[in-house]
Amino acid sequence: MTNGELAKELSQYPLTAIATGLLDFEQLKKRLTNSQEKTTGTNPLKIPEEERRKLFGERVKMMRNLRGLTRSEFAKKLGVSTALVSAYEVGKREPSMKNLIALTQILNIESDWLLGISPPTQEKNT
């Protein structure tokens, strides 16, 4: 992975996550390298479903931590079990449409970024 590719990926994370150390650069670089090896075709956004779920989970966990919420508090706000939040964060489960909408509202972030579709432009206005 080149420095440019790493910089491009890092640009998708909030600066506060980088500054507070919630983003582990070595782990991110390893994950990206592995996903690039599995990528088919020329589109770098085509990653296996398991990798996509892991990316989603990492972003949910990072934003939950940035908002100062415990898993338990977050689960209560979301109206689900702590076990389900944990499953989201480790990439074992994907949220329903209803829960995805609630996630974006609670975390105040765009769903496209959580899903890995686009980099965040800014936090949602409340």
Residue 55 has pLDDT above 50, yes or no: yes
C-beta atoms surrounding 25 within 10 Å: 11
Q: Are 37 and 65 in contact (CB under 8 A)?
A: no
pLDDT tens string 60-73? 999 999 999 999 99
Average pLDDT value over all residues in the chain = 75
Higher per-residue confidence, 39 vs 60:
60
Q: Which two tokens stand for residue 38?
A: 């599995």
Phi-psi map region of 2: left, alpha, beta (phi>0 left; psi -120 to 50 alpha): beta
pTM over 0.75: no
Residue 85 has pLDDT above 50, yes or no: yes
For the domain spanning 3-114, the CATH number is: 1.10.260.40
Residue 93 — pLDDT band, cuts 50, 70, 90?
very high
Residue 78 CA, distance from chain mean position: 17
Instruction: Give me the pLDDT at residue 11, please.
Output: 57
Domain parsing of the chain, residue ranges: 3-114
